[in-house]
Every structure is written in C-alpha cells, then in structure tokens.
Amino acid sequence: MKITKIIAVLMIVLMTLVVAGCDKDNNPQTNKNTNTVVENKTEKTADEKIKVKVYFPNNDATRLVAVEKTVKTSGTNKYKAVMEALMEGTNDSKLSVVMPKQAKLLGVSVSGDTAKVDFDKALVKNFNGGSTGEEFLVGSIVNTLTEFPEIKKVQITIEGRNVESIKGHMDTSKPLPRMDELLK
C-alpha cells in the first residue's frame, strides 16, 4: 500500500514537471523573429553574439590595428562585453597587448553619446608603458568603444573617479573622442 502511494506521488510530480516544461510563454524561440532593437535593454536572450572590432597596437608601435571578434552579450551589456574582449588580448604575433593582465574591468555605462569605462587601480599600478604605450592603451579603449555609432566619447575612470592620467603622459580627465590618428 505504501509503495502504491509513493508511486502515485511520483507520477503526480512527474506530470507536473512535464506540463510546466511545455508552457508556451517560456519558449525562448517565440521572439526569435523580432527586429526591434532596444539599446538600454537589460535582459538579453540566451547566447546573443555580436561581431565587434577591438583595437591593438602593432608590434612596432606605429598604429592601432582592428581585430574582429565575436562576443557573447547575454547576461551583460554589449559595451562591457567588448571591453572584456579587449582585455582578453590577441593571439596575433604581429600585435601587442598593452592592457595589464592584473587590471579588472569594474563596469561600462553610457550616458548620451559618452561611455564611461571603469577599471580598478591595477590598471594604473601595473601599466609599464611610456608615453607611446599610454597613448596606445587609451587609444585601444577609446577606439574599441567608439566602434559603436552611438558612442562618440569615452571617459576612463579608476574605481569610479576621473583620473588626470594613467601614467602622466596623456590627459584622461575628460571624455576623449575617437583617436583616428592612431589608425593610420
């Protein structure tokens, strides 16, 4: 008799799970053909991917070179995803990585046409470049984010605060426009 009751309870639980799994409202494919884009959308569909250009200096430090990457934006905003792709670096032996490995991205926000990218203190503490390296570090960040047409300027902050410079060679106290001169 006890076994019959246990089997009956298990069958009810199993049927409930099957019915709940067939609910049409939770089907992620129902919105697959939607063409509306909302920039400030906080919810993303599973495994949404976009192609982006990320900039790295060439080995002789004469210009920035665009590298196309595909980034996953689910669970984060696209600006943060592209900055994470920049921080991952590149495997191209003809390009350099100027971003310190110890640096952590704290966040990216957008207000109007300006992106604010916030790093921890390790960006400043562990950056080893001189004036050219600093220019390419800042240029990599600014040009990567200004690939998005809605972003015209980028403000670099350290732990939420504006900084005059990363290492004393370049003014980063104000939002910076795209640095096309580094692409030639």
Name residues whose C-beta falls within 8 Å of residue 22's C-beta, 6 or more positions apart in sequence. Answer: none
**Structure pTM?**
0.73
37 lies in a domain? no
Q: What's the token pair of residue 114?
A: 């300006």
pLDDT of residue 57: 96
Mean pLDDT of the chain: 83
122 lies in a domain? yes
8 lies in a domain? no
Quick check: 14 pLDDT over 70?
no
Quick check: 104 pLDDT over 90?
yes
Mean pLDDT of all residues in 81-107:
95
Range of the domain at 75: 43-182
94/104 Cα distance (integer angstroms): 25
100 lies in a domain? yes
Confidence of residue 37 (pLDDT cuts 50, 70, 90): very low
36 lies in a domain? no
2 lies in a domain? no
28 lies in a domain? no
Mean pLDDT of all residues in 7-34:
49
56 contacts 65 by C-beta, under 8 angstroms: yes
129 lies in a domain? yes
pLDDT of residue 15: 56
108/71 Cα distance (integer angstroms): 15
The 10s digit of each residue's pLDDT in 50-77 is 999 999 999 999 999 999 999 988 766 8
pLDDT of residue 30: 40
pLDDT of residue 48: 87
Quick check: 107 pLDDT over 60?
yes
113 against 23, higher pLDDT:
113
Q: Work out whether strand 153-158 and strand 176-177 pair parallel, antiparallel, or are unpaired.
A: antiparallel
Give the chain's domain count: 1
Residue with tokens 């939607």: 34
Closest C-alpha among 180, 114, 112, 111 to residue 152: 114
60 against 5, higher pLDDT:
60
Q: What's the token pair of residue 52?
A: 């982006």
